[in-house]
Amino acid sequence: MKLTLKVWRQKDQESPGHFETYQANDVSPDMSFLEMLDVVNEGIIDRGEDAIAFDSDCREGICGTCSVVINGMPHGGHRATTACQLHMRHFTDGQTIYIEPWRAKPFPVLKDLVVDRAAFERIVQAGGFVSVRTGGTPDANAIPIPKEDADRAMDAAACIGCGACVAACKNASAMLFVAAKASHLNTLPQGKVEKDRRVLGMVAAMDKEGFGNCTVTGSCEAVCPKEISLDFIRQLNGEYLIASLKGK
């Protein structure tokens, strides 16, 4: 099939960006979206021009690197699918596709479709861990964990840190990302010990980075490629309230 692409091109963080039009011919329905961009880039390089920069690595939906907005939807808006796993069979011949980077103030554009997500790193560094050292830990079966709790922790831990939740949110809120990490750890006995410190630390870091507030519109959950549930935001809000009241 043949497609018309309107791609966001931006030289670097300081320069203004604009949409550039490219024709993608001979697109196979079995290509992934990023493979389609690879082929377009081959043509651009053949013409001696600078290729479209976009982030990707594992290309199997787990590393969280890829980060493009396709026709206004982060990752293209197909249920539980990252852009690298989105296949061209979902598009139709002759279609025009708009391709943009994540748009959020805390995620500055570095070039074209590549953004800087270091703000997420600083949030994790502010409490997204269990403070244990290597070695000297008890036997893995010493503390039984109800299967339901382990499963719930795993549901939250499935977050790949891609940032689609922020890109989808009208407030550029990072609540789903923060809630997923906090809930993963707070649900397990190993993480409960420093629960209060964790939620206060991570929420403070999130605010400091300039992410917006959550008004529970649910757009984050709708685009999340790992289907992280809004219920974790409810859990975080509750835990944050308790921790604040304790005044720790």
Residues 82-101 that bind other proteins (CB under 8 A): 85-87, 89
- Which of the stretches 95-103, 140-148, 171-179, 234-242 binds other proteins when contact is defined by CB under 8 A? 140-148
State which of positions 180-219 bind other proteins (CB under 8 A): 184-185, 188, 190-191
CA 110 to chain centroid, in Å, comes to 17
CA 12 to chain centroid, in Å, comes to 21
d(CA 174, CA 5): 29
State which residue, 13 or 244, has the beta carbon closest to other proteins. Answer: 13
- To other proteins, the closest distance from the beta carbon of 4 in angstroms equals 19
- Which of the stretches 92-100, 125-133, 165-173, 211-219 binds other proteins when contact is defined by CB under 8 A? 125-133
Identified binder of other proteins from the candidate list 6, 9, 20, 51, rule CB under 8 A: 51
State which residue, 39 or 171, has the beta carbon closest to other proteins. Answer: 39
Q: Which two tokens stand for residue 164?
A: 């689609």
State which residue, 115 or 172, has the beta carbon closest to other proteins. Answer: 115
State which residue, 42 or 213, has the beta carbon closest to other proteins. Answer: 42
- To other proteins, the closest distance from the beta carbon of 129 in angstroms equals 4
Identify the CA nearest to 67 among candidates 124, 95, 107. 107
State which of positions 10-39 bind other proteins (CB under 8 A): 11-12, 28, 30-32, 34-36, 38-39
State which residue, 38 or 71, has the beta carbon closest to other proteins. Answer: 38
- To other proteins, the closest distance from the beta carbon of 47 in angstroms equals 9
- To other proteins, the closest distance from the beta carbon of 132 in angstroms equals 5
153 binds other proteins (CB under 8 A): yes
Q: Which residues of 34-60 are buried (b: 16+ CB within 10 A; e: fewer)?
A: bbbbeebbeebeeeeeeebbbbbeebe
239 binds other proteins (CB under 8 A): no
